[in-house]
């Protein structure tokens, strides 16, 4: 019996593999298919000839950590200490894992909102913690009363994901007011705020825990350069946490990876001098609007998309199949891959919802939509 005997291969692996096998357009796993900024690839080309090939300090390459300090100050007007409050990680995935492993122990309860990103629950199980799944409301807003009712002295952590994968929902000021009140009543609960899509919001702007003084001194904030700079394969992100939490997270990090790929750290450090993060939302808003408009002629019903690069749609008018079967047939018969939403729930639900990733060039979106409109 292994520790994760009940957990199967990630749906992202399953669907991407199937898309490749059937030569389908892959709108399943979330990754961009357009070229990376040439300024970034030029930096990499230059850097390979320089002395950046050995271990960096454990918590991160110091120039990059200073630039992260500047980025957080620019985006959220928060001053953080680069030496004590930042950890550069092998993607957000490793940041989340190291944080949960360091802070959650035997029997500790961790509140995970349902539906949620797939890595949280296995991370908690590997820490011998107990995941407590609380359903989001039907419109994917958190039900703070139910969340509060689930909190007790056993609760060690609440995990939030804002903007939210897969639903694209973003938290509002009133969510944060409710969360602040809740956490005031439970002074020992730590918040883990997965904000990997922080720069991908549209009409309504992202509200980060970084801007919340009552929360940030007890929160682990997770960011991903993979999402922000369209380089998911680089697997590089960072964690910001107050020193008392970060000291513990670093202990796990040092024995898991010790330090992150030096070349990518040096490259992003230089890139942060010349790149603008403030227009990333506009860039993806155009893609979202284009994809939604193209799908407007289809029989799929579009749910709202406030942030992330994911569009959830209902296929209720098209088929009665469950979402996994429908996604498989979408690949084999129609040449488009998507993610079944049921896989983000604790107990699979027959909601007839699937998720498309629109982080694609226009030609890909147009061809995918053409195929989807024929169904
Ligand atoms: N959290 C969420 C909500 C995500 O969607 C992803 C990427 N799929 C991650 C974390 C992991 O990010 P990274 O690729 O930087 O490890
Ligand atoms: N975060 C990506 C998504 O939601 C997938 C990352 C992965 O493949 N693990 O599609």
Q: From ligand 2's centre to the CA of 118, what distance in Å?
A: 8
Q: Say which residue the tokens 């030029």 belong to.
A: 42
Question: Which ligand neighbours the alpha carbon of 222 most closely?
Answer: 1
- 29 touches ligand 2 (CB under 6 Å): yes
**Rounded Cα gap, residues 224 and 163, in angstroms:** 13
Half-sphere exposure of 58 (CA within 13 A, CB side): 12
What DSSP state is assigned to residue 314?
E
Nearest to 195 by CA among 245, 240, 133, 243: 240
Nearest ligand to the CA of 357 is 2
Ligand 1 atom nearest to CA at 161 = 3
| pLDDT, position 349 | 79
> Strand, helix or coil at 206?
coil
Say if ligand 2 is within 6 A of residue 161 CB.
no
Residue 119 CB less than 6 A away from ligand 2: no
Rounded to the nearest whole angstrom, what is the distance from the C-alpha of residue 375 to the centroid of ligand 1? 31
Closest of 195, 226, 220 to residue 208, by C-alpha: 195
Tell me if 60 CB under 6 Å of ligand 1: no
Structure tokens at 159: 């995990």
Report d(CA 371, CA 363) in Å as an integer. 12
pLDDT attached to residue 91: 98
Distances (CA, A) of 211 to 177, 207, 217, 349: 13, 7, 11, 35
CA distance 188 to 183: 8
Pocket test for ligand 2, best of 16, 20, 28, 29 (most atoms within 8 A of CB): 29
Domain 11-36+278-373 has CATH 3.90.1150.10: yes
For residue 158, give the 3-state DSSP assignment. Answer: strand
User: In what helix (H) or strand (E) does residue 133 lie, and over which residues does it extend?
Assistant: strand 130-135
Q: Is 26 in the pocket of ligand 2 (CB under 6 A)?
A: no
Q: Is the dihedral of CA 299, 371, 118, 6 positive or negative?
A: positive
- Angle made by CA atoms 111, 112, 116, in degrees to the nearest 5: 175
User: Could you tell me if the CB of 93 is within 6 A of ligand 1?
Assistant: yes
Name the residue at shortest CA distance from atom 4 of ligand 2: 30
Instruction: Supply the pLDDT for residue 1.
Output: 75
Secondary structure of residue 219 in the 3-state scheme: strand
Which bound ligand lies closest to the C-alpha atom of 96? Answer: 1
pLDDT at res. 47: 98
Which ligand has the shortest distance to the CA of 162?
1
Q: Whose CA is nearest to atom 5 of ligand 1?
A: 165
**Tokens in use for 82?**
């680069």
CA–centroid distance, 196 to ligand 1, in Å, is 6
Per-residue model confidence (pLDDT) at position 195: 99
* Ligand 1 binding pocket includes 194 (Cβ within 6 Å): yes
Q: What is the pLDDT of residue 246?
A: 98
Instruction: Supply the angle between the helices 38-47 and 262-271 in degrees, to the nearest 10.
Output: 130
- pLDDT per residue as tens, the chain (375 positions): 788 988 889 999 999 999 999 999 999 999 999 999 999 999 999 999 999 999 999 999 999 999 999 999 999 999 999 999 999 999 999 999 999 999 999 999 999 999 999 999 999 999 999 999 999 999 999 999 999 999 999 999 999 999 999 999 999 999 999 999 999 999 999 999 999 999 999 999 999 999 999 999 999 999 999 999 999 999 999 999 999 999 999 999 999 999 999 999 999 999 999 999 999 999 999 999 999 999 999 999 999 999 999 999 999 999 999 999 999 999 999 999 999 999 999 987 789 999 999 999 999 999 999 999 999
Q: Strand pairing partners for 307?
A: 201
Q: Which atom of ligand 1 is nearest to the CA of 194?
A: 1
Instruction: Give the per-residue pLDDT at 372.
Output: 98
**Start-end of H helices in the chain:** 11-21, 38-47, 62-76, 82-85, 91-103, 120-126, 144-150, 173-185, 213-216, 225-228, 243-256, 262-271, 280-295, 323-334, 362-373
345 and 115 in contact (C-beta within 8 Å)?
yes
Taking the CB of residue 154, how many other CB atoms lie within 10 A of it?
14
Class of CATH domain 52-271: alpha beta
> Tell me, what's the ipTM?
0.98
Total residues found in the chain within this entry = 375
pLDDT of residue 2: 84
Whole-Å CA distances, 96 to 5, 169, 213, 231: 21, 20, 22, 19
What residue spans define the domains of the chain? 11-36+278-373, 52-271
Separation of CA 26 and ligand 2 centre (Å): 12
Return all residues near 356 (Cβ < 8 A) that are at least 6 apart: 27, 291, 310, 311, 312, 313, 336, 338, 368
CA 39 to chain centre: 25
Ligand number nearest to the C-alpha of 26 = 2
Ligand 2 atom, smallest distance to 165 CA: 4
pLDDT score recorded for residue 321: 97
Provide the angle, in degrees to the nearest 10, between the axes of the packed helices 262-271 and 62-76.
40
pTM, rounded to two decimals: 0.98
CA–centroid distance, residue 166 to ligand 1 (Å): 11
């Amino acid at each position: 019996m292994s520790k994760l005997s009940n957990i199967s291969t990630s749906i992202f692996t399953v669907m991407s593999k199937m898309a490749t096998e059937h030569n389908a357009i892959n709108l399943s796993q979330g990754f961009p298919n357009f070229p990376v900024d040439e300024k970034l690839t030029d930096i990499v080309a230059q850097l390979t000839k320089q002395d950046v090939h050995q271990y960096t300090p454990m918590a991160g390459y110091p120039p990059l950590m200073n630039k992260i300090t500047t980025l957080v100050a620019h985006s959220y007007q928060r001053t953080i200490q680069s030496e004590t409050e930042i950890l550069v990680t092998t993607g957000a995935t490793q940041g989340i894992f190291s944080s949960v492993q360091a802070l959650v122990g035997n029997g500790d309860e961790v509140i995970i909102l349902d539906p949620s990103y797939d890595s949280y629950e296995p991370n908690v199980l590997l820490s011998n913690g107990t995941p407590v799944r609380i359903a989001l409301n039907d419109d994917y807003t958190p039900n703070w009363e139910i969340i509060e009712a689930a909190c007790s002295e056993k609760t060690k952590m609440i995990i939030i994901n804002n903007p939210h994968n897969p639903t694209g929902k973003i938290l509002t000021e009133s969510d944060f007011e409710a969360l602040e009140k809740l956490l005031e009543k439970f002074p020992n609960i730590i918040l883990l705020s997965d904000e990997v899509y922080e720069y991908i919001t549209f009409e309504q702007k992202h509200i980060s825990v970084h801007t919340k003084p009552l929360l940030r001194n007890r929160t682990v904030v997770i960011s991903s350069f993979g999402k922000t700079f369209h380089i998911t394969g680089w697997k590089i992100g960072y964690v910001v946490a107050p020193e008392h939490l970060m000291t513990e997270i670093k202990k796990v990090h040092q024995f898991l990876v010790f330090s992150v790929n030096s070349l990518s750290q040096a490259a992003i450090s230089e890139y942060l001098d010349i790149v603008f993060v403030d227009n990333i939302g506009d860039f993806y808003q155009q893609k979202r609007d284009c994809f939604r408009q193209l799908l407007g002629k289809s029989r799929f019903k579009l749910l709202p998309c406030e942030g992330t690069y994911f569009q959830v749609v209902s296929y209720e008018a098209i088929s009665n199949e469950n979402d996994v079967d429908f996604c498989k047939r979408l690949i084999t018969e129609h040449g488009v891959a998507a993610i079944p939403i049921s896989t983000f729930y604790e107990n699979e639900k027959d909601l007839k919802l699937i998720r498309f990733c629109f982080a694609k060039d226009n030609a890909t979106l147009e061809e995918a939509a053409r195929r989807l409109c024929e169904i």
